Amino acid sequence: MCLLAAGCGAQETPTANHGGANEADIQRLSTPKQVVVDTQAAARLQPLTRPDLELANMIAPQCDFSRDGRTLIAVSPSDAIARVAGTLLHFTHTSPAGPTGGFFEDRQVSISVGRIGEIVPGEGAAGSWPGRITVTNRRARAQVELDGIWRCGT
């Protein structure tokens, strides 16, 4: 009888899990992971590829803006192309593109490019200047500004 009574009163150890969640599991599951949102993604430029340039007949564009050796916008007298947020877009000129820069837009994105200085003589190709590009997505209220090289026919 004593053995039977001792067996009935036994309690489980507090660390036993048996398939349920412990305190650490509950804490981990109840704390949502931080989601990092790129609020500028709708205005972020991606490099143009050779097929992008070929498709737009801009293998040798009149003007272009590049950063780290990658072309971000190519400009011809009647067109301008850029890949914004992963989509290849065509822009109209809102002012003539030239050595000082240019302005381009479509229905939701506008791009402004301008020179920000001179290249030291002998250190850059003729018709190349330090430049800055500003891309604005009006619908998403996002804006990205980058420094790079603006090249335009001599």
pLDDT tens, 60-70? 999 999 999 99
Please state, in angstroms and rounded to a whole number, the distance separating the CA atoms of residues 120 and 114.
17
Q: What does pLDDT average to over the chain?
A: 84
Phi-psi region of 60 (alpha: psi -120 to 50; beta: other; left: phi over 0): beta
63-67 and 70-75 beta bridge pairing: antiparallel
What pLDDT sits at residue 3? Answer: 47
What pLDDT sits at residue 19? Answer: 65
Question: Would you kindly state where each structural domain of the chain is located, as residue ranges?
Answer: 41-152
pLDDT at 79 > cutoff 50: yes
What pLDDT sits at residue 41? Answer: 87
What pLDDT sits at residue 15? Answer: 54
What pLDDT sits at residue 38? Answer: 73
pTM of structure? 0.72
Type and span of the H or E element at 104: strand 101-105
